[in-house]
Structure 1
Amino acid sequence: MTEPQTGAIPRTDTPGFDRRLLPPMMLGSVLNPINSTIISVALVPIGAALGAPASQTAWLVSALYLATSLGQPILGRLIDIFGPRRLFLLSTSLVGVAGVVGTLAPNLGVLITARVLLGFGTCAGYPAAMALLRGEAERTGRNNPGGVLTALAVANQTIAVVGPLLGGLLIAVGGWRATFALNVPLAVAAVLLGLWRLPKPAGAGRSPRRGRLAAELDLPGMTLFAAMLVTLLLFLMNAHLRDWYLLVMCAVAGGLFTVRELRAATPFIDLRVLGGNTPLLATYGRALVAYVVAYAFLYGFSQWTEESYGLTPFHAGLVQVPMFLVAIGVSVLTGRRSGVRGKLLVGAAGQIVACLLILTLTETSALWTLLLVPLIFGVPQGLNNLALQNSVYFQADPERTASSAGLLRTFAYIGSMVASSATAASFGRRADTAGLHQLAWVMLGAGALYLLLTVLDRTLGRVGK
């Protein structure tokens, strides 16, 4: 079978990180956030064009995260086994296909399908980047990822700045379909960079033995994991007691998954190791609640500024810019410090303050107050993302860096699914002020839980040391 490779490069003459890997790493990792942020200003125009209320267009958000939550750990495991190159190329090619489907979509159902394809297509970028980083650490003997992790964080924050603003511009010029068409040139660029820059794994010409490959992949474990996650996320998309059977199905699939993984010789997710790694589990929990806050704000606040405050999609994107500019600055200033506890505490406090300010907003609020809220949100946006990915890098089993990074994104996207469900439940058919305040209380509860999980975790002081 092909030897597991995580991006190790045969060259040994360069003592530092191979900077040629940065362009495909950064472009691949930002494909998901650009599609996450650009849709935030397109939901209202799409709803108006297709006659769909906010409760239905919320599926455009949920569909991407459903696919990504499922695909990230699976693609991460495949990257751990086969190396990042081939999975990166295959996955990013799917992004281009999704762009074409979305551009030509005749109705909301096809558009949701395009978002599912986008979710799967953007799965490989982040795990591949983390695997390449681990491979370079092994090649150079220098486990100092601060600068590269900061570059990835800043790239994601920069795209987040561009996303809503670019979305508004594209909608003004070519309508909401242009926001899907953008994925075609992005996918072409990512594939070309991957072909040019990503290292080929050693032994790439050998054919894997089918039996050993099946054991490495743990297909039964992946199937049960998929069943557990899909039923959970389907319930979260439209949480209601009438759908109780989905939770029962999730519990059954989860129980069978646990039994399978504890008995498997090469499990998809090694629960024995993961269960003994309490700090990593706590990091996943923090990611979940942090993304509840972040994405409830990103989608809920944008819809409210358009439907209740009366901003155009372009101006709604401009209002988000202060958050991402502050996030970039915070990431650059703190990125090379490997410690995470201080970042997490300040990030938690920033979330709580911003949520309290949202509770004061109305349709008659001054424009500067609309700018103040995202300005404050920029602090936790910059600190939390960086601290969470640093935590996983140092806490995860080195042999499962990519799949552990994929699981981080899975928990984060479960949080975003909760945020999407809360947004749809709070707004109903229209994003009004009462719904915004109801959503803010949900965000405030998640922010308080995030702070509690950080304060009680005494292992954080050792991360990066």
Structure 2
Amino acid sequence: MTDAKTESIAGTDKPVFDRRLLPPMMLGSVLNPINSTIISVALVPIAKALGAPASQTAWLVSALYLATALGQPVVGRLIDIFGPRRLFLVSTSLVGVAGVVGTLAPNLGVLIASRVLLGFGTCAGYPAAMALLRSEGKRTGQDNPGGVLTALAVANQTVAVVGPLLGGLLIGVGGWRATFALNIPLAVAAVLLGLWRLPKAAVTDRATVTDRTAASPDDPAATGEPPQRGSIAARIDLPGMGLFAATLTSLLLFLMNLHLRNWYLLLIVAAAGAAFAVRELRTATPFIDLRVLGGNTPLLTTYGRALVAYVVAYAFLYGFSQWTEEGYGLSPFHAGLVQIPMFLMAIGVSVVTGRRKSVRGKLLVGAAGQIVACLVILTLSGTSPLWLLLLVALIFGVPQGLNNLALQNSVYFQADPERTASSAGLLRTFAYIGSMVASSATAASFGDHADTGGMHQLAWVMLAAGVLYLLLTVFDRTLGRAAAAVTDATRAGK
């Protein structure tokens, strides 16, 4: 690609955002959402084809998010160090491999393994997009140049519209295996776009080094040469990553199979978590800087808010979809059609509110929307009119459009600029922990069959999470600063 630094607004010397970066940024960031939504209408056909109950097919959801929850902050940190291009190309190639494995899977175990590969493969897209946005912001002098954060949010919502409907179409034409085969052409397109459009220089790495130390002319970071092997190993913090993985894996395995006999997993969580904290507080270049993160209360609150928000969002996405097929009697295609009002509403809300400064207002309305939708779900039955299902989906579209955008903006302006990608990865990690809680609650509520009683039980869990989300927003007095930062960025981006 040509040097982006030569681009400027006509008649001025003011540099502009390099729009050629948008295609790989968009495609990379939506690989995970499209696989999240497309599987929602494939769970029942897979269960029937492989003879598995809903409690087992729930692992197809959990496997993706377990891998992504682990991989996002790890890959994000590597992107902070080495730049986005290499990590983007490796990860998106893995998406293609996962597509092949899933398409040919002979049983549920192999299918779950393909979802694990898919989770790791989709790890780089979103952190890479945030890192590119940060580096372009530094180059142009504009945070969120051209409203790219809004564009990313709208792209994710648009893909979410396509996911369930596309899944239903693919299942109708080629069976549930076609939903896995879709990843093969998507991965090829992402790799080609990455090779063609992403800059080769690891700008993020050099910026990080020169910000922290006054690099001499012979410093590899100053000359653009790769750092020495020893310094790479020290900065990656492999022990910290390993302890983080052990902590999170144990926690998520416990959440996925809530039972007293699994108490030992909580001991592993406590031991690995304590060792991780000690390691990160003592090492010079931690994987997750707990000192900085611990002092950043607004960012920690945003992560907590993301967790409970996505408990509601993913419980609806998977639980409601399964109920519309098994409890209400819709086909996978029609179950996908029922969710279209939600995603269309989410796109409209994101577009209309994308450049408005109120972060707190978006979060409050989003919380209210979740609560109202959960209350309506509690009135549903197998004989409810179809328009009532569509109304639930429409109401859910409001928090879908507001929450994602507001959380994304919050992290971008609250995070340490040198750790933009890893902070963005952690946002997704907390969101995926929420999805794991939702998946666990869905499996416990439905058991072997997604009936109306199970849907009502799940709705109570969603309602509790929605109320907690509202409380975390009402009592957070730091949101005004995020709104001010969004305002300044919006003005600069015009």
With normalisation by structure 2, the TM-score equals 0.91
1: CA distance, partners of 2:101 / 2:340: 29
Alignment of 1:14-163 (within 5 A): 14=8, 15-145=15-145, 147-163=147-163
Pairing partner for 1:323 from 342, 345, 348: 342
1:338–1:12: structure 2 CA closer, same or farther, 3 Å change rule? farther
How big is the shift at 1:240? 1.2
How big is the shift at 1:347? 0.1
How big is the shift at 1:427? 0.1
Q: Is the 8 A contact 1:8 1:135 kept in 2?
A: no
Look up the match of 1:277. Answer: 296
Look up the match of 1:191. Answer: 191
Q: Is the 8 A contact 1:12 1:139 kept in 2?
A: no
- Helix, strand or coil: the match of 1:273? helix
Please state if 1:243 is matched with 2:262.
yes
Write the letter of the residue equivalent to 1:79.
I
- Helix, strand or coil: the match of 1:463? helix
Please state if 1:389 is matched with 2:408.
yes
How big is the shift at 1:226? 0.3
* CA deviation map 1:317-355 (0-9, x unaligned): 000000000000000000112431000000000000000
1: CA distance, partners of 2:145 / 2:248: 31
Write the letter of the residue equivalent to 1:233.
L
How big is the shift at 1:205? 7.9
2: CA distance, partners of 1:13 / 1:237: 50
Please state if 1:173 is matched with 2:173.
yes
Q: Is the 8 A contact 1:8 1:136 kept in 2?
A: no
Please state if 1:368 is matched with 2:362.
no
Look up the match of 2:314. Answer: 295
Write the letter of the residue equivalent to 2:297.
T
Q: Is the 8 A contact 1:85 1:198 kept in 2?
A: yes
| Structure possessing the higher radius of gyration over alpha carbons | 2
How big is the shift at 1:16? 1.4
Pairing partner for 2:355 from 330, 336, 358: 336
* CA deviation map 1:54-96 (0-9, x unaligned): 0000000000000000000000000000000010000000000
2: CA distance, partners of 1:142 / 1:168: 42
Write the letter of the residue equivalent to 1:416.
S
Q: Is the 8 A contact 2:16 2:145 kept in 1?
A: no
* CA deviation map 1:275-330 (0-9, x unaligned): 00000000000000000000000000000000010000000000000000000000
How big is the shift at 1:10? 5.8
Look up the match of 1:308. Answer: 327
Write the letter of the residue equivalent to 2:393.
P
Look up the match of 2:251. Answer: 232
Write the letter of the residue equivalent to 1:159.
V
Pairing partner for 1:11 from 5, 25, 34: 5
2: CA distance, partners of 1:144 / 1:233: 34
Please state if 1:460 is matched with 2:479.
yes
2: CA distance, partners of 1:257 / 1:35: 31
Q: Is the 8 A contact 1:54 1:430 kept in 2?
A: yes
Write the letter of the residue equivalent to 2:360.
R
How big is the shift at 1:462? 1.4
Q: Is the 8 A contact 1:233 1:417 kept in 2?
A: yes
1:9–1:227: structure 2 CA closer, same or farther, 3 Å change rule? farther
- Helix, strand or coil: the match of 1:458? coil
Q: Is the 8 A contact 2:358 2:483 kept in 1?
A: yes
1:397–1:205: structure 2 CA closer, same or farther, 3 Å change rule? closer
- Helix, strand or coil: the match of 2:5? coil
- Helix, strand or coil: the match of 1:11? helix
Q: Number of residue pairs matched?
A: 459
Q: Is the 8 A contact 2:360 2:483 kept in 1?
A: no
Write the letter of the residue equivalent to 2:177.
R
How big is the shift at 1:206? 3.7
Write the letter of the residue equivalent to 2:376.
L
Look up the match of 2:434. Answer: 415
1: CA distance, partners of 2:248 / 2:128: 22
Write the letter of the residue equivalent to 1:436.
M
1: CA distance, partners of 2:99 / 2:4: 36
| Gap runs ≥5 in structure 2 | 9-14, 203-220, 485-494
Write the letter of the residue equivalent to 1:394.
F
Look up the match of 2:210. Answer: none
Q: Is the 8 A contact 1:64 1:116 kept in 2?
A: yes
Look up the match of 1:4. Answer: none
2: CA distance, partners of 1:279 / 1:372: 34
2: CA distance, partners of 1:440 / 1:384: 19
Larger deviation, residues 440-449 vs 11-20:
11-20
Aligned-residue CA RMSD (Å): 1.4
* CA deviation map 1:251-294 (0-9, x unaligned): 10000000000001000000000000000000000000000000
* CA deviation map 1:114-141 (0-9, x unaligned): 0000000000000000000000011011
2: CA distance, partners of 1:420 / 1:212: 40
Look up the match of 2:213. Answer: none
Which 4+ stretches in 1 moved above 4 angstroms? 7-10, 202-205
* CA deviation map 1:165-189 (0-9, x unaligned): 0000000000000000000000000
2: CA distance, partners of 1:228 / 1:145: 37
How big is the shift at 1:241? 1.5
Q: Is the 8 A contact 2:150 2:351 kept in 1?
A: yes
Write the letter of the residue equivalent to 1:154.
V
2: CA distance, partners of 1:145 / 1:339: 18
1:372–1:146: structure 2 CA closer, same or farther, 3 Å change rule? farther
Pairing partner for 2:283 from 256, 264, 273: 264
How big is the shift at 1:13? 3.5
Look up the match of 1:210. Answer: 229
Please state if 1:355 is matched with 2:374.
yes
2: CA distance, partners of 1:330 / 1:463: 20
With normalisation by structure 1, the TM-score equals 0.97
How big is the shift at 1:207? 4.2
Q: Is the 8 A contact 1:99 1:183 kept in 2?
A: yes
How big is the shift at 1:238? 1.2
Write the letter of the residue equivalent to 1:50.
L
Q: Is the 8 A contact 1:9 1:139 kept in 2?
A: no
Write the letter of the residue equivalent to 1:452.
L
Larger deviation, residues 138-147 vs 124-133:
138-147
Look up the match of 2:274. Answer: 255
Query: Percent sequence identity over matched residues?
Result: 84
How big is the shift at 1:146? 6.5
Write the letter of the residue equivalent to 1:55.
S
- Helix, strand or coil: the match of 1:142? coil
2: CA distance, partners of 1:149 / 1:141: 16
How big is the shift at 1:143? 1.6
